[in-house]
Structure 1
Amino acid sequence: MPRTHIQTLPLRARPGVVARLVTAVTTFADRRRDRQRLGQLDTHLLRDIGLDVQDARRESDKPFWQP
Structure 2
Amino acid sequence: MKNRRHTLLWMKDLLDHMAQCHDQLQWADEGDPAQDFLADSLLNNLAECRRLCEELKAPEARSAPRFALS
Q: Which TM-score tier does this pair reach, normalised by the shorter chain? A: 0.3 to 0.5
The structure that has the greater radius of gyration is 1
The TM-score with structure 1 as length reference comes to 0.46
The TM-score with structure 2 as length reference comes to 0.45
Structure (1 or 2) with the greater helix fraction: 2
